[in-house]
Each structure stands twice: as C-alpha cells, then as structure tokens.
Amino acid sequence: MTNLRPTRRLSLAIATLIGFTMSDSPLPAANYDEAEVPRYELPDPLTMQNGTRVKSAKDWVEKRRPEVLELFRKHVYGRSPERPSGLKFKVIQNDTTALGGQAVRREVLITFARNEATPEATLLIYLPKDTDGPVPAFLTINFVGNHTLHTDPGISISRSWVRNNKDWGIDNNRADERSRGSRRSRWAVEKILKRGYALATIYYGDIDPDYDDGFANGIHRLYPKPKPDEWGSISAWAWGMSRCLDYLETDRDINAKKVAVMGHSRLGKTSLWAGAQDERFAMVISNDSGCGGAALSRREFGETVKRINTSFPHWFCDNFTQYNDRINDLPVDQHLLIALVAPRPVYIASATGDPWADPKGEFLSGYHAAPVYELFGLKGVGVAKQPKADHPVGHHIGYHLRTGKHDVTDFDWEQYLNFADRHLK
C-alpha cells in the first residue's frame, strides 16, 4: 500500500467499503491511469533463483530456462501430462476443391483416449494448392467452433459445448448452421493461403469447455482432479495445441518444423504457454492476450491477477491465487514467459481500444525479454518505447499496437504473415 498514490488509495478504500457492503463485489475498480501504476521490480531474466548470473545461451538453455519453466508450471498455469498413449488421428474429410478450388479442406478427428474415456476434437486444416512441397502453417485455437471461421459449407459444425449467443442463434449450448462463418472477420483464410501458408485450427471447447465445473469435463476428465500445481484450462488448451502439432508432424503436406502457434485473448495466453513449453513450435503469436498472457502482472493495469483468478477460477492452477494480493512475491512475471520462447521468434499484438489487456504492459514484456534473445546474438523489439499505433516494430520479438478494439483483424494477420515470411521462409 505504501507505494500507492493517494487517488489510488482512495479508490481502493471506496472499493473496499463497497466490498464490505456488497459481498459480491469485493474487487477494487480496475486502474486505467498510468500515473497510478505501482512501483515494481521485475525478476531479472538473467539471475537464477540462487543469485547466480546467467552468462551465456548455454546457461539459459541448461539452467535458467528449465528453472523459469518450472516456476510457471508450479505457480501460474499448472503442469500438464505427457501425450496420452491412446492418442489417435483419423482424417475424416479431404476435399481438394474447397473455397472455389483454391484450397484443400481437411478435417482430422483427434481421439484423446485414456482408460475408458475417449473425448474427441476436430482439427480443421486449409492447405494452399499448387505448392512445391510441404508448407509452413499457422496453428490457431478458436472460440466458437471451426465452422465459424468461414462460410464454407463443408466445415463440420462443432458438436461440443459452446457459450450461448443470441446473434448467432446459439442456445442450449449447441451450435448449428446459424453460426457458420460468424467469426469470419477474425480469420484471413484466403489471405493466409495466398501467402503460401496452411491454416489449422481447433475449437477450444473440444479440449476443455470454458466453465468452472471442477475439472469434470473435456480432457480433464481423463485425469485425476488436479493438485494445486496442476493444469487449469489454459494449460489444458495449450496441451491440446501440442496434440494438434503431434498430428501435423504426421501430415506430409505440412512442414511441421515451421508451425506458428497463434491465439487471441484467453487463447493468446494459451498460445504463449503452448509455445513456451513446446519447443517444436517455430514461432509464437499472442493477439491481445493481456493479464496472464503478455501483459506484466506487476503493473496491475486493467485486469489484475486477483480479478482474473476471481472471474475465471478454472483458468490457472490453484497456486496462482496465492499471489492475488502479493503479486510482487510471484517469482516470475510475464516477460519471462516471452523469454521462454527464445531464440524462436515471438510476436505480441495489442489494440488501442483494449486497455483491459494493458497494451503498454504487453509491450514491456517483449521489451524486458530481450536480454535473453541477446544471449543468442538476436535482437528483441529493438525500440525502447512503445511505438505509435499501427507502426509494427521488432526483430525476433515483433510488436504492434493496432488502432481499434479487442479483436483480430486483417491488419493483425498482415503483420503475422510479414513476420512469418521473415522468420519461417
């Protein structure tokens, strides 16, 4: 508290008072004032927990990286299991005349069998045609079902639990034809294909439905109830993305050594955690991922750790709640999550109309991860200040602040494609 400025103290006091009188709103109002960001010190990427300096890429790879990864597993996202032995893939459709003959549409049924239970997920893949050899790919995870990516009538409608949405005629937590193509603006399918990349996507609800049910559904039900340092839903979704990559490694039309993992918002947190853990991902993209994603937690700007753990108790591991009111004791902050991707390229995108996700905090994570890239002789974002809107920057750590709201747009995809052209081609 001593670090806080008077106005912040006042708003906290009011909020606490309201909290006492209205038991359902115990959280302080979110801070959107840069002047009210508390003073903080970030854990140094190049200092081990025991105080030893990290002097080389070798020290990072052999000592500090495993330590940081373990800290994120134990305190933030929770550890997830190995690939299940009963994992199976089955190509259920392969249409070489999709999108007016421009693309191949492939669907793969993934079965996560373990003991008696066999949850299934459908991976949708669009491949460009007339290519010479296997193509690089974007592997993404989506919010409302694969069939919402495009109006293409050949995409199977998701059969898993889905959040109700009046605009798209989703009631009873089941999707139907009315939601086909409803999220089309977020997925530049044709643009991606034209640039020579495949687009693979999975519906997150196929892996773990996004509600707090005590881990009784999705792939969580295959495993015992998690301990305090074991996976929440973000870890489960990230685990699912690694299982998709397991399939992509078997697909001869895809260059699995050139797969970029991408997600938006809670699924941007997911893509970062997937890419941080699974070094087979060649590139990692976080779109407006915010708190628990790219944004620095210690800034407490917009969404805070306390708030996210309160609103979404199933996303992180239980240990994370210990830091709700003492974020400075957490041995990591999110710049270290970005650093875990090194030396692979990572892209962080923010939007001007998305203060909840703390765009500046997202930039700063990238900025403070640079010392790790430098150990490998690589440059990070390459600028000391957050760039103006719509001016992408960066070398091995890419960054832009797009004008507009919390969303994924063609502008975002244009930057991801340019970044991928630079690093994957």
Query: Active-site positions?
Result: 265, 406
Tokens at 204, concatenated: 């997150």
Q: Under the criterion CB under 6 A, does residue 266 sit at the interface with ligand GTR? A: yes
Q: How do 120-128 and 198-203 pair as beta strands?
A: antiparallel
Interface map 102-141 toward ligand GTR (x if CB under 6 A): ----------------------------------------
Give the span between the Cα atoms of 263 and 358, in whole angstroms: 17
Closest by CA to 238, choosing from 94, 405, 78, is 78
Q: Which is nearer to ligand GTR, 80 or 265 (CB)?
A: 265
Q: Under the criterion CB under 6 A, does residue 265 sit at the interface with ligand GTR? A: yes
Q: Which is nearer to ligand GTR, 65 or 269 (CB)?
A: 269
Q: How do 397-405 and 346-353 pair as beta strands?
A: parallel
User: What is the closest distance, in whole angstroms, from the C-beta atom of residue 265 to ligand GTR in the complex?
Assistant: 3
Closest by CA to 176, choosing from 145, 199, 140, 130, is 145
In sequence order, the 6+-apart residues with CB closer than 8 A to the CB of 360 are: 34, 299, 301, 386
Q: With contact defined as beta carbons under 8 Å apart, do 142 and 183 qualify?
A: yes
Query: Position 388: which residue type?
Result: K
Q: Under the criterion CB under 6 A, does residue 299 sit at the interface with ligand GTR? A: no
User: What is the closest distance, in whole angstroms, from the C-beta atom of residue 283 to ligand GTR in the complex?
Assistant: 21
User: What is the closest distance, in whole angstroms, from the C-beta atom of residue 55 to ligand GTR in the complex?
Assistant: 36
Q: Under the criterion CB under 6 A, does residue 210 sit at the interface with ligand GTR? A: no
Q: Which is nearer to ligand GTR, 121 or 308 (CB)?
A: 308
Residue 167 DSSP class = G
Size of the site for ligand GTR (CB under 6 A): 6
| Interface of this chain with ligand GTR, residues 300 to 319, rule: CB under 6 A | 303, 308
User: What is the closest distance, in whole angstroms, from the C-beta atom of residue 352 to ligand GTR in the complex?
Assistant: 17
Sequential DSSP letters for 37-68: PPP--PPPTTB-TTS-B--SHHHIIIIIHHHH
Q: Under the criterion CB under 6 A, does residue 291 sit at the interface with ligand GTR? A: yes
Interface map 20-49 toward ligand GTR (x if CB under 6 A): ------------------------------
Of residues 28, 232, 290, 361, which one binds ligand GTR by CB under 6 A? 290
Q: Which is nearer to ligand GTR, 98 or 338 (CB)?
A: 338
Tokens at 277, concatenated: 């853990």
User: What is the closest distance, in whole angstroms, from the C-beta atom of residue 162 to ligand GTR in the complex?
Assistant: 15
Residue spans of beta strands (DSSP E) within 38-185: 86-97, 103-113, 120-128, 135-142
Q: How do 103-113 and 120-128 pair as beta strands?
A: antiparallel
Please state the separation of Cα 203 from the chain's center in Å: 13
Residues near ligand GTR (CB under 6 A) are: 265-266, 290-291, 303, 308
